[in-house]
């Protein structure tokens, strides 16, 4: 009789231990399975929207961020810069951005939802180099009528402060404008069009 009591206790102990070990094993198995539902960091970097805080961006300053493996520039322009944009129309290939790649809401002189902020793909439309940002106004070795903008040192393409391409350079079109939208005026999201926009 005493042996049966010991066996029952042993069985209960073994059943309880096996259950606990099985539950822990199921947990270890479930964690990688559940994690596989979430996109990897690499997948998120490839396509996930990027949020940019605008509070610390001073007028005249350019902030570079990565989105889908591309360098995106966020430039805060001054009223003076915006006012000088029409002065360059005669020197530009596509001043009205009719042949360039941008969302419909950015097909304007400022090429922006809000004129103050230019959100632009920094890769030259010629061969993809990233142009230098040269905001200084005045004659340059590469351009007599320089009102600030982007200069590609690879093949000498030039773009104004709206990313519009100059005539007579290798780049065929203006710099691209990615989809983006604003959040409460203090941040923007690159990769998401404004609500209701196509």
Which positions are catalytic? 155
Give dist(CA 159, CA 165) in Å, integer: 4
> Contact at 8 Å (CB) between 129 and 155?
yes
Residue 169 to residues 94, 109, 131, 156, Cα–Cα distance (Å) = 12, 20, 13, 7
Instruction: Give the CA radius of gyration of the chain.
Output: 28
Joined tokens for residue 85: 């944009």
Rounded to 10 degrees, the C-alpha dihedral 64/164/149/172 comes to 90
- H or E segment and range at residue 51: strand 50-53
């Amino acid at each position: 009789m005493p042996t049966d009591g010991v066996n029952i206790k042993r069985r209960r102990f073994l059943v309880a231990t096996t259950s606990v070990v099985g539950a822990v094993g199921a947990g270890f198995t479930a964690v990688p399975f559940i994690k596989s539902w979430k996109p990897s960091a690499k997948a998120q970097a490839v396509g996930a929207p990027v949020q940019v805080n605008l509070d610390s961006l001073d007028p005249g300053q350019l902030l570079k961020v990565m989105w889908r493996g591309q360098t995106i520039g966020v430039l805060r322009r001054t009223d003076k810069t915006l006012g000088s944009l029409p002065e360059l129309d005669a020197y530009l290939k596509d001043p009205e951005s009719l042949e360039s790649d941008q969302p419909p809401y950015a097909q304007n002189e400022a090429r922006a939802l809000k004129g103050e902020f230019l959100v632009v793909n920094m890769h030259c439309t010629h061969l993809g180099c990233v142009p230098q940002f040269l905001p200084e106004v005045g004659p340059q070795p590469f351009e007599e009528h320089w009102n600030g903008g982007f200069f590609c040192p690879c093949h000498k393409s030039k773009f104004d402060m709206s990313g519009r391409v100059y005539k007579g350079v290798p780049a065929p079109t203006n710099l691209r404008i990615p989809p983006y939208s604003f959040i409460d005026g203090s941040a923007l999201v690159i990769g998401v069009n404004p609500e209701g926009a196509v």
